[in-house]
A and B are shown apart, each in its own frame.
Chain A
Amino acid sequence: MARQDTLIFGCSALGHEVAMQLSERGIQVYLYSNNLDEVGGLLAKGLQAAVIDYTDDEKLLGIGIGKWVKTIFCLFSEEPKNLFLTLSARALDPDLKIICVAESIESSGRLLAAGATKVIDPYEISGQRVHEMIARPYLVEMLEHTVFGKHIDIAEIEIPDSSVLAGMALSDLELNKKYDLIVLGVVDLELSNQLIFTNSGVDHRLDAGDILVVIGCKQEIERLRQGVSAAGEP
C-alpha cells in the first residue's frame, strides 16, 4: 500500500465527489469507511477504498495518522462520527489538517471546537450560490465558465530564497502587464496567515517565503512559477 498523505473518511456520495475532484487535481486519495457496502460500491467504481474501525486509535495510527498523513476529510453523514474522528485524529497529530462537513451552524461550531481546521457546510454554500444566481446573474455565469470551469485557475506561488522578486514592493511587480495574470495579494506567513490584497493600500515588500496568490490561465501561471524561481529578471 502506497503511503497516501490525503485520506477521506466516509464513503457516501460526498466522499466520492471529493475523491473525484482531488484526483482531477492530481492528488491521489484513499477512502475509508466502517460500512462494507459503501466501500464495495467505491471499489467497483475504481477508487481505492478500505474498511476501517475508526474508533480504534491503533488502526488510525496504522494507516499513518500522526505520521505521514497531512490532510484528512471527515465526510460521514452522521455528525457524531465526524466529531469522534476529529477528536481522535487531533489527539494523535496536532498539526493535521482536518476538513469536516457540517449540516448546520451549530454542528460546525462543535466540530471547530473538537479541533477541525476547516468546516464546510454544503447547504450553506449552495444556498449562497442560488442567491448569487438571482442577485448577480452575469457574474455567476462568468465565474462558472472561468474560475469554476477549467479555463482560469487560482494558484499560490511561494517566493524562493534566491528570487529576484524578493525585496520588491507589491506595486512594483506589475505582473498583470508582464504576464496575463492578476495578482490578488500576498500572504506573509511571518505576519499572519491573512491575505494582504493588492488593492488594500498596504504596499507590502516581498521577501522569500511569502506566498503570492494569482489568478490566470494555467500556462501563464506555470510561466510565472518558472520566472519567479529563476534567478534572473522575471
Chain B
Amino acid sequence: MSFAQKIIKYCYTLEGSSRYKGLKGGVYNLLQNPRAPIRPYFDIFMILLVLLSVWLLIYEVKHDLGLWGDLIEVGAVTIFIIEYLLRFWLYNDSHKVIIERYERAEFINETFRLGPALYSAVIGKLRYMVQPLAIIDLLAIIPSYRPLRFLRIFLLFRLFKLFRYTRSISEFVKVLSEKRIELVTLFIFMAFITFTAATAIFFFEAEHDGGQIDGFFDSVYWALVTMSTVGYGDITPQTTEGRVISLVLIIAGLGVISFFTSIIVSAFGEKIHEIRAHRVFSEVERKHVDTLVCGFGRVGQVVAERLSEDKRSFVVVDPLEENIRLAKQRGYLAVMGNGEDNSLLVSMGIDTRINRLLCLTGDDVVNVYITLIARQMNPDIEIISRANHRENVNKLYRAGASHCVAPYEVFGLIAAEYAGQPVAFEAVYGLLTRQTSEGIEAVRIKRDSSLAGKQMGEIDFLARKLIPFGIIRDGCCDSEIDNSCFNLNERCFYFNPGEQFTLQANDLLVLIGHEYSVVHLRDCLERGEL
C-alpha cells in the first residue's frame, strides 16, 4: 500500500467516524454556533481571560509578576493556542478536500496524485490564517515566545480578541464596514491633503532660520495635528507662507472632520433598527417567548394587554414606528418590521421556539400571506388570524389558520342580539367577555378526583353558587348518555347533563358562576373535600 493510498483510507475512516463528527460538532457549538447554550458562558470566560492577561501586561510594566503571574500568563497563552488550533481545525475539512479530489480523479479515470490534493487542502487552511480575526488571534499569542519579546506591544491585540466574544463590538465593526467606500474615499482625500500640506510646510519652513521643522516626519506630524483640529502647538509655522498654508489646512480639516462624523452618524442611523431588532431577537430567545403578535392595531393592543395581564410572554411585530413606540412604552418586546418578511419570522424562531402566531393586521391580504408562509415553515404552529371581511374567513382557513376572528361578524352578532333581547344579551355578553365577575369557567376532573364516577344529581352545585352548563368529553358523542350533545373537533359537548349523568376522569366540567365560587370548587377538588 502506497503512502497516498494510506492517506485516502485514513480520510475515509474519518468521514465514516461518528465520534470524529460528534467531537467536531461539540467544538463547533463551543466556538462558533451562536445559538448553542454554552456559547454565552464560553464568551464570558474568554473575555475575563483576555482582560486578566492585559491587566497583567500593564501591571508588569512597573512591578514584578512573581510565580503566580507567570503561571496565569502561561495558562492564558495555552488556552489561546488551543483555541487558535481548534478554530484552525474547525475552519474546513481537509479530509473532505482530499476525498473530493480522489473521487474526481477516479471518476474521469485519471491516476490520483497526492501532491495537488494536499496542496489544495493546505490552501484551504491558509485561507483561514489570513482572516483578520485569525491574524489577531495569532498576534495575541506570538509575543509570548521569548525570542520575540520585542513584539510585546502586540499583546495588546488580545484586546481585539474581544471582537469575537461580544456582540456589540462586532456590530459596530459591521456597521462601519458597510460604509467602506465612503471611508476609503475619505482616507484618500485626507492622505492627499496631509501630504500636500506637509510638503508645502517642509518646503517653506525647513530652510527658514527660526523654523521648528527639522525633517519631513515633523511636517507630516504637524499637518495631521493641525488638520484634525487638535493643534498641540508644539510645532508652529514661523513664516507668512507657512501661516497661509495653516489657514488653508484648518479649513480643509473642518471639512474632513465633518465628513467623517456624518459617515458614522448616517451609518448608525441606517442600521439602528437592525441593531435594536437583534437585541430583541436575543431577548426573545433568552425569555423563551412562544407567542408572536403580528400587527399592533386596536385588536393587537387589546390582545397584548390581556396576555400581559396573564403574564404570558409574547413579541410584537408591526411596520409602523408609532405602534412600536407604543408597544415599547407599555413594556412589551417589539420589533419594527413587516410580518410578511420571511427572514424576520425566521429570526424570531417561527420554525423552532414560537408555537403560537397571531395575525391581527387590518389588511386581509397581509394576514393570509403571513398565515400561509408561517404554516409552510411550521406545520404544528397554532395560528389565530383576523379576517376583516366575511368572505376571507375561508381563505384564511385554507391558508392554514387554526382559528379566525372576524371583528365585523362578531360585532354584527352582538349588535343583532342586542337589538332583539337586550337583557339576555347583557348577561351573556358579560359572561363571555368576563367583564362581570360572573363567568363561564371550566374545571378539569382529574384521575384521582373525588368527582370522577359521581352522578351529576349527587353534587349540589347550587349550594356552591354554581350552575352546571355542560360537560366536554374527549371522543365522539353518545346520544344515549344525554340527548343534547354536540360534536366538537374530536370532543363532545353534553349540554345541561341530567341527574343520572356520570362524570368521568378527564372530563371538563363547564360551570357558570362567580370566579370565587369556581376557585373555591377547584380548591376543594385539590384537597379532596367534596
Contacts and interface: CB of A to CB of B under 8 A. Distances in A.
Given A17-B390, A142-B488, A123 B408 contact: no
A50 interface: no
Given A101-B411, A134-B291, A199-B517, A141 B491 contact: yes
Contacts of A120: 411, 414-415, 418
Contact of A21 (B291, B306, B413, B512): B413
Interface string A177-208: 10011101101000001010111110000000
Contacts of B440: 139, 143
Contacts, number: 208
B404 to A, nearest CB: 10
B299 A127 contact: yes
Given A14-B411, A21-B415, A180-B495, A213 B302 contact: no
User: Is chain B's interface secondary structure helix, strand, loop, or mixed overall?
Assistant: mixed
Interface string A92-114: 00000101010110000000000
A18 B426 contact: no
* Contact-size category for B: 35 or more
Interface residues on A, range: 35 or more
A122 B302 CA distance: 11
A125 interface: yes
Given A127-B300, A127-B302, A184-B512, A145 B486 contact: yes
Contact of B403 (A97, A133, A136, A143): A133
A146 interface: yes
Interface string A124-138: 111111111111101
Interface string B99-143: 000000000000000000000000000000000000000000000
Interface stretch (B77-85, B370-378, B462-470): B462-470
B390 A130 contact: no
B298 A123 contact: yes
A155 B495 contact: no
A17 B307 contact: no
Contacts of A13: 388-390, 408
Interface in B4-61: none
B459 interface: no
Contacts of A60: none
B499 A18 contact: no
The winner among B421, B465, B472 for most chain A CB atoms within 10 A is B421
Contacts of A176: 496
Contacts of B306: 127-128, 131, 135
Contacts of A131: 302-303, 306-307, 310
A122 B362 CA distance: 12
B419 A27 contact: yes
Interface of B: 291, 297-303, 305-307, 310, 312, 356, 358, 360, 384, 386, 388-390, 403, 405-428, 432-434, 438, 440-442, 461-462, 465-470, 472, 483-484, 486-489, 491, 493, 495-496, 498-499, 508, 510, 512-514, 517
9 contacts: A13-B390, A21-B416, A122-B410, A127-B301, A127-B303, A145-B488, A154-B428, A182-B467, A213-B423
